[in-house]
Structure 1
Amino acid sequence: MEPEKDNWINDVMGSLDGLNRTEPSPFLFARIRNRLSTTPSTAYVPGRLVWVVAASFAVLALLNWQILAGMAGQGVQEKNELNTVITEMHLYPASNQLYDLWSGQNY
């Protein structure tokens, strides 16, 4: 390696030599044990609220399913309508046009 890189690596590695380990507060362990020993008051959710939330999720899922089912059927219908318009107006892709015969190497 280059000496500059070696010096830089040694400087970085040596920068932590003089640091001391941090010590926690002497009463920290006692406070943690006190919080663990006291039981928090439990809060109960009313059963009616649970059923309302479950019903709203069910309605949301049903609406999403209906929208997706409608969009799937609509895509097929639009494709059929587009094909009908193309055939009635005699519109064809550019690859089927006669002028393609005169382009490129066939010119």
Structure 2
Amino acid sequence: MREGKKYEFSEILSSIDGLSRATPAPYFYTRLRARMEKASLSAWERMAGYLTKPVVVVVFVGSVLALNSWTVLRQVNATLGTAQEQSTIQGIREELNIASNTNIYDLIKPE
């Protein structure tokens, strides 16, 4: 049985005697280089990939909502302030009997 193993071993070793070095197919490196250049992403593709990440989208949407809320609250406060100012001005006009739509031509009586 020991001789059988030696024979098997020598048979396996002799099977690799006829092998030669592997060579790539024609134009392999040209195709490889073209594929590698194609794989590099442009700046727009990289930016699109970055902007489609869920974290970036959530932060962007949250920022837009926060800015909209801030703008609406600012407008509401400005409107309330304007209404208070208008009521104060109206009170002064009534107190002093000042007409708000007086015109110099209305004050001159025709003869």
TM-score class, shorter: 0.3 to 0.5
TM-score normalised by length of structure 2: 0.46
* Larger gyration radius, structure 1 or structure 2: 2
TM score, norm. by length of structure 1:
0.47
